[in-house]
Amino acid sequence: MATILDNKAEVDASPETVVVRFAGDSGDGMQLTGGQFTLSTALAGNDLSTFPDFPAEIRAPQGTLFGVSAFQINFGSSAITTAGDAPDVLVAMNPAALKTNAPDLKPGGLIIADTGEFNRRNLDKAKYETNPIEDGSLAKWQVLAFDISALTLESVKPFGLGVKDALRCKNMWTLGLALWMFERDRQPLVDWLKSKFARNPVLADANIAALNAGHAYGETAELSGPLKQIHVQPAPVPDGLYRTVTGADAISLGLVAGAQLAGLPMFFGGYPITPASAILHSLSKLKEYDVTTFQAEDEIAAIASAIGASYAGSLGVTSSSGPGIALKGEAMGLAIMTELPLVIINSQRGGPSTGLPTKTEQSDLYQAVYGRNGDAPMPVIAARSPSDAFDCAIEACRIATQYMTPVMVLTDGYIANAAEPWAVPDMSSYAPFPTTFLTEAQEGGLKPYARDEKLKRPWIKPGTPGLMHRIGGIEKEVDTGHINYGSENHQAMTEIRRDKVLGIARGIRQQVDQGTEGGDLVVVGWGSTFGPISQAVRRARAAGKDVSHVHIRHIWPLPENLEALLKSYKNILVPEMNTGQLKTVLRDQYLVDARPLNKVSGQPFRIWEIEKAIDAFFDGVPGNEGGTVPADHTQLPNAVSGYDDGSLKPHVHSPQSN
């Protein structure tokens, strides 16, 4: 039976947005629960944003603090652009999940806990001396604690499963309860379970029974306390077809679309790395779109094979995360020198070295823009959200083939894993950018390094009669492409390579994402900080502050009007999940006083952190603008997950100390 501990605060019965976090052991199926809840939320017409957070270990020891896996979803009736600052509802499947996640919960928020897991052994593993459900330490929240384990076992009894299998239905029981709370239709879940367990109908039926039992429990428990249904109105979105999409999905689809728009077969050379592997996984299944995937022996072979494929007339693509991108650096230089098209996807993660494989960071901007030997200019574009990654991938394919250059697309662990609703694009609205290959020598003989008006050299496929020529990493002679170490020639070629890439900026104009051109303050962002910046600017503007939001997609070359745009504001704030990398580029390029706001805790910005930084420009106190946001354990991703040695970090403390 439910133990109702406290009831002092009310959860808003019809809020604009709600944040729910599911947390449990890595074996509890929390990511799957969260994913299915996301789907039902999308079907209910809410806008949403999610944040999956899981340990770096595949199977961390059961019940431990570092084995906690969590999934947070923010959904509502208005536009949602972040996974939410603090949860309203926390579902904690064991003591460790409660310990690591409760501090994040809003005061008065609801904790749903499975008492079946709150035994001495699990409390010890979570370093609880006394049972928090019984000792009053959760007093500032509402707690609904009952034996979900036992209720699940009861509900699946008729199916004769072993205890272990039966307990694995717990997540569906919990999901059933959550569906009841938010008035969601169970049918899509039932259909999904039937197809997932098509080969094992007993498991399908058991899971459906658990789902129904959780739902029924909600209806009954409603009579008895804090558990009440919360209705969130559908978000006002344009009519049309929608689906959920993660950044990794969107990148893969965008690459396929980009290659098709260029009229080229795609060759993808990849090597598994977190969090970029998902792109290789999904492209491997799309062979009918003229996609060849190659799992190479290492990161270098992955990019080198892609370069070879581009040389032979395909669109070469490779993908990795920071450490792998570092290994690919020399080959990028080869693609720059030989002027072959190539798309490089970098799903950034915390660094340096192995760093934080499953945590998000934006700290590869220097690496992307500057990280090669020699003067090696390369276009860089950054996706702001999972759905934006689709358009960025297409844009990268366009630039690569239209300018004969490698292009890097920056996403990050947050964008790669997070899901959001996506208005399915009308592909006929994308203008094709067909590729042309040189088929006969230019007047006066073959010149593989002759230029068109964009300074692009011709693309010549081996197999073309009469156009045999040699390319390579040694400096090329202007026009002929022969080896040439001459000083004047190197000067000329260096300038050509620079000017070609800078020329890409022609026609790329930076828009103001929110607010006006000119004013007191502009918040300049790039990549996945789009969500929190746009919300913070929205709130600040609502409070009457003259602040605008400019979010940069083209990191290099920067948009042609950006200098004039930035100089139209009195102040510039650049929030980044690094120690100030875009800030450096902006200062260098435009000699503007861009003030950094930095956060490098492996956690996305929260809206209030940016709001606070905005306020500092208007508070009349000199010299307090910008700075560093300190690490904060009360936020997903939680600092206790993801350490390979399983150690706990000193700033992790118990709910009582909050």
Of 31 and 638, which has the nearer Cβ to another protein?
A: 31
Q: Kindly tell me which of 185 and 619 has the beta carbon lying closer to another protein.
A: 185
Nearer to another protein, 464 or 568 (CB): 464
Q: Does 73 bind another protein (CB under 8 A)?
A: no
The smaller minimum CB distance to another protein, of residues 192 and 590, is found at: 192
Nearest to 248 by CA among 396, 379, 420, 380: 420
By C-beta, is 282 or 363 nearer to another protein?
282
Please identify, among the stretches 164-172, 332-340, 497-505, 628-636, the one whose residues bind another protein according to the rule CB under 8 A. 332-340
Task: Say whether residue 424 binds another protein (CB under 8 A).
Answer: yes
Specify whether the CB–CB gap between 114 and 94 falls below 8 A: yes
Q: How far is the CB of 240 from another protein (least distance, A)?
A: 6
Cα first-last separation, the chain: 29
With b for 16 or more beta-carbon neighbours within 10 A and e for fewer, the 37-58 pattern comes to bbbbbbbbbbbbbbbbbbbbbe
The minimum distance between CB 340 and another protein, in angstroms, equals 10
Q: Are 313 and 339 spatial neighbours (Cβ–Cβ below 8 Å)?
A: no
Chain length of the chain: 658
Q: Which of 97, 133, 278, 331 binds another protein (CB under 8 A)?
A: 331
439-498: contacts with another protein (CB under 8 A): 461-474, 482-483
**How many CB atoms are located within 10 Å of the residue 230 CB?**
17
Which amino acid, 403? Y
Helices (H), 104-186: 120-125, 148-156, 163-167, 170-181
Residue 257 sits in the site that holds another protein (CB under 8 A): yes
Residues touching another protein, count (CB under 8 A): 76
Pull the structure tokens for residue 67: 């084995």
Q: Using the rule CB under 8 A, which residue among 132, 269, 525, 532 binds another protein? A: 269
Stretch that binds another protein, among 71-79, 148-156, 232-240, 406-414 (CB under 8 A): 232-240
How far is it, in rounded angstroms, from Cα 616 to Cα 602? 24
- Taking the C-alpha atoms of residue 45 and residue 533, their distance in angstroms, rounded to an integer, is 24
Of residues 243 and 506, the one with the C-beta less far from another protein: 243
206 binds another protein (CB under 8 A): no
Q: What type of residue is 417?
A: N
Three-class SS state of 371: coil
Q: Which stretch binds another protein (CB under 8 A): 48-56, 65-73, 260-268, 364-372?
A: 260-268
Residues numbered 334 to 373 that lie near another protein (CB under 8 A) are 334, 338
3-state secondary structure at position 356: strand
For position 316 contacting another protein by CB under 8 A, the verdict is yes
CB of 75 to another protein, least distance (A): 13
Q: Please, which residue, 428 or 487, has the CB nearer to another protein?
A: 428
Tell which residue, 410, 401, 357, has the closest CA to residue 382. 410
Give dist(CA 631, CA 645) in Å, integer.
20
Beta strands 519-526 and 569-576 are parallel
Residue 16: CB minimum distance to another protein, A: 17
Near another protein by CB under 8 A, which window of 82-90, 101-109, 233-241, 566-574? 233-241
Q: SS3 of 269, please?
A: strand
Answer yes or no whether residue 263 interacts with another protein by CB under 8 A: no
For another protein, the closer CB: 188 or 355: 188
- Please, what's the largest Cα pairwise distance for the chain? 90
Instruction: Show the tokens assigned to 136.
Output: 């009053």
**What does DSSP say about strands 380-382 and 406-412: parallel, antiparallel, or unpaired?**
parallel
Instruction: Note whether 300 and 437 are within 8 A (CB).
Output: no
Instruction: Give dist(CA 282, CA 273) in Å, integer.
Output: 14
Residues 381-410 that bind another protein (CB under 8 A): 390
Residues 115-174 that bind another protein (CB under 8 A): none
Between 239 and 488, name the residue whose CB sits nearer to another protein: 239
What is the closest distance, in whole angstroms, from the C-beta atom of residue 232 to another protein in the complex?
13
Q: Give the pair of three-digit tokens for residue 625.
A: 């603008």
Q: Which of 15, 27, 188, 272 binds another protein (CB under 8 A)?
A: 188
Q: Please identify which residue in 241, 353, 434, 544 interacts with another protein, judged by CB under 8 A.
A: 241
Beta bridge partners of 633: none
Please give the structure tokens belonging to residue 514: 């929110």
Interface with another protein, residue 428, by CB under 8 A: yes
Sort residue 580 into left (φ over 0), alpha (ψ -120 to 50) or beta.
Answer: left
Contact predicate 578/584, CB 8 Å: no
317 lies in the site for another protein, by CB under 8 A: no
- Which residue, 298 or 619, is less far from another protein as judged by CB? 298
Comparison of 59 and 243: residue with beta carbon closer to another protein: 243
Q: Does 288 bind another protein (CB under 8 A)?
A: yes
Binding test (CB under 8 A) with another protein, winner from 98, 153, 221, 301: 301
Complex with another protein: residue 27 or 425, whichever CB lies closer: 425
Return the ∠ at Cα 327 (arms to 325 and 332), rounded to 5°: 70
- Establish if 37 lies at the interface with another protein (CB under 8 A): no
CA atoms within 13 A on the CB side of 324: 28
Residue in 501, 259, 254, 553 with CA at minimum distance from that of residue 401: 259
Select from 8-16, 145-153, 422-430, 450-458 the region that touches another protein (CB under 8 A): 422-430
Closest to another protein by CB, 390 vs 617, is: 390
Q: Rule CB under 8 A: is residue 305 a binding residue for another protein? A: yes
Of 313, 324, 377, 527, the one binding another protein (CB under 8 A) is: 313
Q: Which stretch binds another protein (CB under 8 A): 36-44, 115-123, 319-327, 400-408?
A: 36-44
Phi/psi of residue 72, nearest 5 degrees: -115, 140
